[in-house]
Structure 1
Amino acid sequence: MEPPDFEAMNLTLKPPAFPLCEDWKEDAEGSLFHLAHILLFLGFMGGSGSYGQLYLFTFLSLGFFCSSLWAWSDPCTTDTFLWSFALFAACLAQALYITYKLRSLSFDKDFEDLYNCMFKRLGVSVGHFGKIVASSDGAVHTLEKGQCFAVEGKTAIDRLSVLLSGRISVTVNEEFLHYIYPFQFLDSPEWDSLRPSEEGIFQVTLQADNQCRYIAWRRKKLYLLFAKHRYIARIFALIVRSDIAEKVYSLSDKAFDRAGRRYDLRLPSYCNMPGPELERPHDLLEVPMPREQTA
């Protein structure tokens, strides 16, 4: 048997369609490539809000800048350099714009304290809080000692207010109910009891125990803000109802039945109690026990 004629068969090795990688680059070019993608990875981990966006675009700017330096070192990657540099410029411009907005949103100390105590813990951004401050006209009102914020049966419910300093006592029929302390709403139950189109008057008297300062939002102006920003409407609904719950629990601590046991004001028997029973003055708020059902 004759051996095969390999020359006649013309068996030759063709070069691969794509060049094979012989070794990894260990110089500065490879380091810039890896650094760029590390920065891009960190940038895409940014959160929401103004500070989250600033974090995002800052790291994206650094990542695309390193990618531009890496592409500049290779004369065959001009298109890569141009795209990376364009993205670097866009991200840098966005980061500078967000920084400018954050610096322009500076508040007085009273509003800064209000933001830190009530809105920041809920994740409200500085930009949204700026809209809330603008709807109140940025004004801080003052109550002198003994001055009334609202009078029972006379003052109209036309605003929503937050106490900044001092202490307010709440009374009904000249009987003490509870105190209102800083960073609590003055009129949250009245606000929540009315629809936007309804009108009402206070059923309690709110009087300053000492010099007090507060912020107020007009109903119509605040509802216009809610119509434009549903997120702000949900935030106010949350903090107003949380404030009402705290007031209910503070009343429950002072409610006792005839046997001296603490009574829960949320029970239906208290809500449906006859009017004359409520109007009798007592040292302690006296609540009748539910009647036992007879077979």
Structure 2
Amino acid sequence: MEPPDFEAMNLTLEEEVFYPLCEEWRDGTEGSVFHLGSIFLVLGFMGGSGFYGLLYLFTFLTLGFFCSTIWAWSDSCTTDTFLWNFALFGVCVGQVLHVSYRLRSVTFDKDFQELYSCMFQKLGVSLGHFGKIVACCDGDIHTIEKDHCFAMEGKTPIDKLSVLLSGRINVTVNGEFLHYIYPYQFLDSPEWDSLRPSEEGVFQVTLRAESRCRFVAWRRKKLYLLFAKHRYIAKIFALVVRNDIAEKLYSLNDKAFDSQGHRYDLRLPSYCHMSRPELEKTDGLLQVPVQAGRTA
């Protein structure tokens, strides 16, 4: 059998393919606008999270794509590049306006802004979640005059959770001084942690203002409803409340001395695991009662 005659069939086995080549490299660079736009894009992609991080990100992306649009406009052969950069520039402008509007809608009064900076910002709580926390207390700031009591021993019910914003609170039990409460510490964290959501109780300590004090308070029922809707907020409060209790416990460590004037460290295993007869021998040790979760 003879092979087919490709020439007679007007077919070719190979076709020559030509690719455009760069005829001449440019002597100079693309220009300062192109490089400035690239720098803005690099800075933009270094943005963080949260509202301020998004605002930083899209601001620099807007500047970067704006410079790229100007650069593409200067070259009549880059119509598609110009259109893409202009479209991305418009998208970034819209994002900047959107984030700015949301950021403005979650701004707070000075007191709540300082509360956020001191207690919640370092834990990574977003302004959106903090806004829900502020809404739970209706944004109210309460005041205690000097020598007035926030809570009376055996009388005041435990129905809220409060944070001191200014002033100083003196905590006593049976007329004996326990410790002070300073700004941005909880007033009733041990009482809050000592009760379950369905339980009720009264303060076993007296909290008296040594100066004019201001505080923010969350009602117990409203706060538990917030926890049920937002488990993340519940975890944040559990963390800050128990950390506050630990700080109060360690502050009581300075009150424990033996008869020779040596200080006991309540955190040491050698002290915490002493047997009852051994504890009774330390008759010179200053004993601080355990009242409603306030441990010494």
Q: TM-score range by the shorter chain?
A: 0.7 to 0.9
Q: Which amino acid aligns with 2:25?
A: D
| Cα distance in 1 between the residues matched to 2:276 and 2:205 | 18
The Cα shift of 1:269 comes to 5.7
2:48 aligned partner? 47
Alignment partners' CA distance in 2, 1:232 and 1:21: 64
Offset from partner CA, 1:198-230 (integer Å, 9 cap, x none): 333222221222221110011222233334444
* Local SS of the residue matching 1:137: coil
* CA 63–141 in structure 1, closer or farther in 2 if over 3 Å, else same: same
Secondary structure of 1:84's aligned partner: helix
Letter in 2 for 1:89: G
SS, match of residue 217 in structure 2 = strand
Q: Output the CA distance in 2 between the equivalents of 1:82 and 1:228.
A: 45
Within 1, Cα distance between the matches of 2:189 and 2:259? 30
Name the aligned partner's letter for residue 26 of structure 1: G
One-letter identity of the residue aligned with 2:233: I
Aligned to 1:77: 78
Which residue matches 1:9? none
Offset of residue 273 of structure 1? 7.3
Q: Does 1:179 align with 2:184?
A: no
Q: For 1:240 and 1:220, how far apart are their aligned partners in 2?
A: 17
Identity of aligned residues (%): 70
* Distance (Å, rounded) in 2 between the aligned partners of 1:229 and 1:31: 50
Q: Which of residues 12, 20, 26 in structure 2 aligns to 1:24?
A: 26
Give the CA RMSD over aligned residues: 2.9
C-alpha change, 1:186 and 1:154, in structure 2 (3 Å) is same
The question of whether the paired residues in 2 share the 8 Å contact of 1:166 and 1:209 is answered with yes
Aligned to 1:7: none
The 8 Å contact of residues 65 and 86 in structure 2, kept in 1 or not, is answered as yes
Cα deviation for residue 16 of structure 1 reads 4.9
Give the counterpart letter for 2:214 in structure 1.
R
After superposition, the Cα gap between the structure-2 partners of 1:169 and 1:23, relative to the gap in structure 1 and judged at 3 Å, is same
Q: Report Cα offsets for 1:235-256 as digits up to 9, x if no partner.
A: 3233222211111111110122
For 1:236 and 1:25, the matched residues in 2 are separated by 63
Determine helix, strand or coil for the equivalent of 1:253. Answer: helix
The alignment's TM-score, normalised by the length of structure 2, stands at 0.78
Distance 2:245 2:192 in 1: 10
Separation in 2, partners of 1:268, 1:83: 69
Structure 2 unaligned regions, length at least 5: 1-15, 289-296
Deviations 1:5-40 (A, max 9, x none): xxxxxxxxx78524226213636x554333323221
Q: Give distance in 2, aligned partners of 1:68 and 1:205.
A: 68
Matched with 2:249 is 248
Structure 1 letter corresponding to 2:223: L
Q: Mind listing any 5+ residue stretches in structure 1 that lack a counterpart?
A: 1-13, 288-295
CA contact (8 A) 1:257 1:286 kept: no
Q: Give the corresponding residue for 2:195.
A: 194
Structure 2 CA distance, aligned partners of 1:138 and 1:154? 27
Verify the 8 A CA contact 2:258 2:284 in the aligned structure 1: no
Correspondences of 1:110-129 after superposition (within 5 Å): 110-129=111-130
Count of aligned pairs between the two proteins: 266
Structure-1 separation of matches of 2:125 and 2:27? 47
Alignment partners' CA distance in 1, 2:111 and 2:74: 54
